[in-house]
Amino acid sequence: MKSEGMQEILKNHATNIKNRSGAGYEQDLHVGKNRANAMVWPETQQAIADNLKNNTLLKSVK
């Protein structure tokens, strides 16, 4: 769950979600005690408002 291969898979998924979400979203990858975790979040005020109004991140996950 923490291997380089899994980190690459998570990074690819996070990048795809970020790209589908549009401008103002950021991503990160964190390796914890038991597993790697990828995150995508709205960074700008416009992206935060867009996500609140349209559920952009949820729709981008598909």
- The domains of the chain are located at 4-57
Q: Over the stretch 7-62, which tens digit does the pLDDT of each residue have? A: 999 999 999 999 999 999 999 999 999 999 999 999 999 999 999 999 999 999 98
**pTM (2 d.p.):** 0.90
Tell me, what's the pLDDT at 36? 97
Token pair in block for residue 29 = 């990858």
Rounded to 10 degrees, the C-alpha dihedral 61/7/1/55 comes to: -20
